[in-house]
Amino acid sequence: MLDIYNNKFTKDEKYLNRGFVAGISMLFMFYMFIPALLSGSHQLMAGLSEMPKPLMILIVCFPPPLLTLTAMLIIFKITDPRKSFFEKLGLNKWHLGNFWICVAVCVFMLGISAVTTIGFKKILDFFEISCRPPAFLTLALSCNTTGFILLAVAAAVIAPISEEILFRRVIYGFVAARIGIAGSVVFTSLLFAMIHDSFAQFPALFLLGVAFQLIYLHFHSLYPSIVLHFLNNGAAVCAILLVRVFHISLLP
């Protein structure tokens, strides 16, 4: 049985309150304001598209998670110094046995994600709704080896740490203290799916967000959810690598 109800969050945890404000502000800036600014400027878009792919990946893919992670770490470090830094981050004890549980959950969720994505694609096709391929997939299949390595680092190493601290610890902790566990799991998972900007994968991303959140709550630690996120993204990177190596056509 999942042990998810013994996690207590209160409204007076200043590091979560400040982290939530900073995190939501950065999500708005990186995933709404800046994309809207770029899409409204043909000159900026042309400049990005003409850049070497590795440079474009460094500019587009690295600043959002790294700056978000840096902001969260600074806020947690300077706020409420009486509490342990790692305790505030939710990085509690790690047990090796948790790794194999994460592997099993990852395999299960990869199957669920595949079935969900295929089923949702059939629904979209039935209603003749078209959607563009995920931006990450398009970029990963079109860049050179250096660009792919940079993408792999951003997706499989930096993103799991940054996103788990922001979504599972900060945003969830802030919202759970106000609307309870179920509502905050749904809210956090919806927001997590939205920032990945892939309509075709939205249901699968939502379910992944739920799985990451439940793993964090069950173990009372962010370590297992980071490992699960790392395994999931690493599996996706490996799958794309196989597509690149064997020249399998995925994009229309």
Would you kindly state where each structural domain of the chain is located, as residue ranges?
14-245
pLDDT score at 250: 67
Mean pLDDT, the chain, rounded, equals 91
At 33-64, the pLDDT tens digits run 998 888 887 887 778 788 899 999 999 999 99
* Sign, CA torsion 86/152/134/225: negative
Q: Is the pLDDT of residue 140 over 70?
A: yes
- Residue 190 and residue 206 in contact, taking contact as beta carbons nearer than 8 Å: yes
pTM: 0.93
pLDDT score at 96: 83
- Looking from the CA of 4 toward its CB, the CA atoms found within 13 Å total 19
Q: Is the pLDDT of residue 5 over 80?
A: no
Q: What is the mean pLDDT of residues 120-131?
A: 92
Closest CA to 237 of 160, 164, 166: 160
Q: What is the mean pLDDT of residues 154-158?
A: 96
Q: What is the mean pLDDT of residues 106-129?
A: 95
Query: How much of the chain, in percent, has pLDDT values that exceed 70?
Result: 96
Q: Which amino acid, one-letter code, is at 169?
A: R
Q: What is the residue whose two structure tokens read 């992944």? A: 208
pLDDT score at 50: 86
Closest CA to 180 of 23, 20, 9: 9
- Residue 199 and residue 247 in contact, taking contact as beta carbons nearer than 8 Å: no
pLDDT score at 2: 58
Q: Is the pLDDT of residue 248 over 90?
A: no
SS3 45: helix
